Amino acid sequence: MERQILITNDDGIQSPGITALEEALSHLGKVIIVAPDREMSATSHRITMNQPLRYQQLKPNRYAVDGSPADCVILACLRILKQRPDLVISGVNRGVNLGDDINYSGTVSAAFEAALQGIPAIAVSTFAHSKSDFKSAAQVTGRLSKRVIDHGLPPDVVLNVNFPQTWNGSVRLTRQGRQAAQSVVVESRDPRGEEYFWLHEKIARTKGKTNGAAEHKLMADYSAVAAGYVSVTPLHLDRTAHAHLERFTEWIGGLEWSEDSNSR
C-alpha cells in the first residue's frame, strides 16, 4: 500500500508553505493536504465541539476545513483519508514557534494531535519576513521526514523544526527555551465609538536555565535560530514535572480525608 503523508498548518489552505512542503515530500509517498480554510494562528490545541465541522475538496488531494489545525488532523484521520497517514507534517508556518510561544502554536498543536493518534509528526516553521524561505525549510523537512519514516519517533514525541532568517547551513538538536514575553494590550475605538483591544506580545528578557543537567548541554531553540541554525526540538506530550515528583510526594502526605480525621 502506498505511503500517505498528511500536511496541515495554521496559516490556511492558501499558504505558500503548504505548496513548498507538498513539492518537497512528493517523492516519499502520496501527499494529502487537509488545512484550515482561513488563518488559524495562535489557536493552540483548540478543537471544535459546539458547532458542526465542514470541509470542501478543492483538488483531488486538497481539502479545506472550517476549523482549527487540530480539527483538520482529526477530520483527516477519521473521515477524509481512506487509510491512516504514515506521517503528519504541520507547516511550513510563517513565523517561528520557539520557547514559550509553543504553548500557543496551532502549528505545533496539530503535530501533537497526530501524536495523540499514534502517528509520527513534525511541526515546521520559518522566520517571518517579506521573503520567507519556505522552499529551504521544506527541503530540510523532507530530509528529516525520510529519517522519521525509516526510523520512527518515540511514543508521544513530535519534532518542532524552526528555520532561521539567514541559514548558516547547519542543523542543531535543541531544547525548548524560555523567554519572558510581556503581554501588551493596545486599546482603541472603532468607527462607532466602541472600545476594542488588540493583544500582542514582545520579548522582555530570557528566563533562567531549566532543571536537568543534561538539558543544559543543548542550545535553546531560540538561541540556535538567532545564530543561524535550523533548530530541531523533540517535544513530549507528557507535561508531568518529573524532576519535582519527590518534592510533591512529601506535600501529598497527610491530605487523605476520612470521617475520623474530620472529627479531630
| DSSP E strand stretches across 15-101 | 30-36, 55-59, 62-65, 87-94
Integer angstrom CA distances of residue 151 from 124, 144, 147: 19, 11, 6
In a domain, 145, yes or no: yes
In a domain, 262, yes or no: no
CB 138 within 8 A of CB 21: yes
Residue among 120, 117, 128, 106 nearest 46 (CA): 106
3-state secondary structure of 151: helix
Q: Of 79-93, 103-117, 134-148, 205-219, where does mean pLDDT reach its minimum?
A: 205-219
CA–CA distance, 97 with 50 (Å, rounded to integer): 28
pLDDT surpasses 50 at 75: yes
pLDDT surpasses 90 at 194: no
Model confidence pLDDT, tens digit, residues 119-155: 999 999 998 776 778 999 999 999 999 999 999 999 9
pLDDT band at residue 213 using 50, 70 and 90 as cut-offs: very low
In a domain, 232, yes or no: yes
In a domain, 203, yes or no: no
Q: How many structural domains is the chain composed of?
A: 1
Residue among 147, 174, 178 nearest 229 (CA): 174
In a domain, 251, yes or no: no
CA–CA distance, 143 with 92 (Å, rounded to integer): 14
The pLDDT value given to residue 226: 93
Cα within 13 Å of Cα(164), Cβ side: 19
CATH of residue 21's domain is 3.40.1210.10
- This prediction has a pTM of 0.86
In a domain, 153, yes or no: yes
Cα within 13 Å of Cα(156), Cβ side: 4
CA–CA distance, 108 with 116 (Å, rounded to integer): 13
Question: What is the CB neighbour count within 10 angstroms for residue 23?
Answer: 15
For residues 114-144, one letter each, b for 16 or more C-beta atoms within 10 angstroms of the residue's C-beta and e for the rest, the string is: bbebebbbbbbbbbeeeebbbbbbbbbbbeb
The pLDDT value given to residue 43: 80
Please state the φ and ψ torsions of residue 68, each to the nearest 5 degrees.
-80, 170
Polymer length of the chain: 264
Please state the φ and ψ torsions of residue 187, each to the nearest 5 degrees.
-105, 135
In a domain, 207, yes or no: no
CA–CA distance, 250 with 242 (Å, rounded to integer): 14
pLDDT surpasses 90 at 117: yes
Enclosing H/E stretch for 184: strand 179-189
In a domain, 18, yes or no: yes
Mean pLDDT of the chain, nearest integer: 88
Model confidence pLDDT, tens digit, residues 46-74: 888 889 999 999 999 999 999 999 999 99
Distance in Å from the first CA to the final CA of the chain: 68
Enclosing H/E stretch for 4: strand 4-8
Range(s) of the domain holding residue 120? 4-176+212-245
